[in-house]
Structure formats: C-alpha cells, structure tokens
Amino acid sequence: MDRRRFLQTAVAGGAMATGFRSYAEPAFPSRPITMVVAYSPGGGTDTLTRALSKPLAKALGQSVVVENKAGASEIIASEYVAGAKPDGYTLLVCSVPHVTNPSLRTLPYDTVNDFSAVCLAAQSPFVLVVKPDSPIKSLADLVTIAKTRKLSFASSGIGTADHMSTELFCYITGISMTHVPYKGTGPGLVDLMGGHVDIYFANIVGAAPLVKSGKLRAIAVTTEKRSSLLPELPTVQEFTKKPFDVSAWTGILAPAGTPDNVLNTLSKSINSSLRDDSVTSVMATYGAEIVANSPAEFRRFINNEVNKWAEVIKATNIKV
C-alpha cells in the first residue's frame, strides 16, 4: 500500500472511531445531578427538595446536589436552568410564580417553551384565616361583608400563590378587596393578628399552629380536596360550586430539549423517591400531598396553570 492510500485509510478509520465514540454516550446518569431551588434555604420548597435528594441519589446511583438561587420571583433560578445544557443534569425546582410570571413581568425566557416537564411532586393548600374576634365566620360572611365595606388581604408578594388564591376568590364571587403584600408569610400573619389586615389565604404550614393555639380562626382551604392537616375545614370549592383548586405546588423542570428517555428516568426515580418514609414525613409536616405525575401530565398542568392565571390577572388588572 502506497503512503497516500495508507493515510486515507488511517483518516477514514479515525473518523469512524470518532463517530462511534460520539454515539457511545454513557448511560444516564453518569455524574452528579444539580437541583436548583428557586427559594432560600430553610423554606418549604428547599426542605422538601433536600429530603427528596437523599433517596433520589440512591435511586439514580449518583449524588444529587441542591443549589439555592432565590430572588426575583423565581426568575433568577429559572433563567439559569433555561440556559443550562439539556442533558438532565441541571433541574429547576419551582412553584406557582413560574406560571404567573408570564402575565406579570417581561421574562428573559419562555415559561413553557424553554423548559421540559419532569413531574409535579407535591401540593399543599392555603387556608383562609382571620382574627378570632372577626365577624367573618364563613365564606358567606366574607362575601357579604366585602360587599358592604372595603376589606384588606395579606399575601407574601405579588403573583405568589397566596395572592392568587385571594384574587381568584374575588374573581369568582364578584367582590373586591385591597391587597397588602408582605415579604413572606410570617409578617403577613403577624399583621393579621395585629388587626392591620382583615384576612389572609395563608400557607397552611405557617397558619396551622396559630389556628390550633386559638390565635387565628380558620375558615376554609383552597385545594379541591380537604387537607389532612386541618380535615375539619371545608374547601372553597364547596362554597363557590365552581372549580377552585389553588395550592403551593412543587414541580421539577429541565431545560427544553432534554431527551425523553432522560425525562422519563428522572420522573420515575423522583416519583418513587417521593414515597420514601423520610420524604413523606416531611411532607406530612407541611400538609403536602404527593402528586408524582408523568412528564406529559405535568406539561399539561403547566399549560393549564399559565392560561388560568393569565385570565385572572387580566380580569383583575393585577400589576407588579
């Protein structure tokens, strides 16, 4: 074989070898996975994610790192994950602001098209609470009184799930109240007890101890089903007779373009890990219920939530 033919053969062989190497990707996962939480350490979403990370690491055979990127109503974390490589190694742990943001803010990413759904992990209700001496003893009382005088309601910020719970209730019942946003659930509950606001559709974790100690009176919960934490309370939907299902949900997304087989592996592993005793005990503390659905089901959920809140935000003229 002459020198030129030898070189051509060598180059061709090298190209084939390179081609085979490019297709022979290691099985997923082959290295640590990072779960980016859109909230600060210590909160409900962070606590649930850290509890989940341990059995998930065991299920996947790789370590799972939890990284907090809080701020800007989940935008910082969402933008970071949207720009990550779509290989399943960087995931976003998000909640309600992810689906209300498109109707409230100009975003550096597309809420629907820049992400791949993995699964909806869990949901927990909000609970309508008032002072013990409040004349509001039922949802019917709330509607009647709100039509005679201007009431005020607390929230943990514009576009948050507790804010949207109240706006949806106002939208369905045809009443209007003054919004008083706070930087978190705690300050809102303090001002409610102090008489500075009239009502609060509060996170059930923060409100339940105050209800059980008699410092607040609970009226109803916002989820479609009654809560295991306060099972005696009716749902808002029982009163409105119209669909009303609002929760502090925790969902997991990946960057758009993540392969289906990777999404399915993640979804199945996360869903099985959610049923680990170490996770269910944390969820019970937060009054959360396991959802554990498929990528396709979570994708439909995201689309429905974006559309639902877009309608409410437009109708009630909510502005940031």
Q: Give the phi and the psi of residue 126 in degrees, each rounded to 5.
A: -105, 155
23 has pLDDT over 70: no
Q: Are 218 and 203 in contact (CB under 8 A)?
A: no
Per-residue pLDDT averaged across 146-157, rounded?
96
> What DSSP line would sit under 35-104, residue for residue?
EEESS-TTSHHHHHHHHHHHHHHHHHTS-EEEEE---GGGHHHHHHHHTS-SSSSEEEEE-THHHHHHHH
Q: Are 210 and 130 in contact (CB under 8 A)?
A: no
7 has pLDDT over 70: no
- d(CA 52, CA 103) in angstroms, rounded, equals 31
Mind listing the pLDDT tens digit for each residue in 262-303? 999 999 999 999 999 999 999 988 888 999 999 999 999 999
Strands 151-155 and 199-203: parallel
Q: What is the mean pLDDT of the chain?
A: 92
69 has pLDDT over 60: yes
For 23-32, 68-77, 152-161, 185-194, which range has the lowest pLDDT when averaged over its residues? 23-32
User: Which residue's structure tokens are 């090298």?
Assistant: 14
- d(CA 319, CA 304) in angstroms, rounded, equals 21
Number of helical (H) and strand (E) elements in the chain, helices listed first: 12, 11
Mind listing the pLDDT tens digit for each residue in 188-247? 999 999 999 999 999 888 898 999 999 999 999 999 999 988 899 999 999 999 999 999
- d(CA 14, CA 42) in angstroms, rounded, equals 53
Q: What angle do CA 307, 313, 314 make, to 5 degrees?
A: 90
61 has pLDDT over 50: yes
Tokens (6 digits) for 3: 């020198």
Predicted confidence at residue 287, as pLDDT, reads 85
Predicted confidence at residue 43, as pLDDT, reads 86
What is the reported pTM? 0.88
Backbone CA torsion sign across 288, 42, 128, 245: negative
Tokens (6 digits) for 82: 């949207």
Which ranges in the chain belong to alpha helices (H)? 3-23, 44-60, 75-82, 97-104, 139-146, 161-173, 185-193, 204-212, 236-240, 260-273, 277-285, 295-316
Q: Give the phi and the psi of residue 18 in degrees, each rounded to 5.
A: -65, -40
- d(CA 122, CA 119) in angstroms, rounded, equals 9
- Give the residue among 92, 99, 124 at the shortest CA–CA distance from 252: 92
Q: Are 198 and 215 in contact (CB under 8 A)?
A: no
Per-residue pLDDT averaged across 135-159, rounded?
96
> Is residue 203 classed exposed, middle or buried when 0-12, 13-18 and 19+ CB atoms within 10 A define those classes?
buried
User: Which residue's structure tokens are 């498109």?
Assistant: 102
User: Which residue's structure tokens are 């309370």?
Assistant: 233
3-state secondary structure of 128: strand
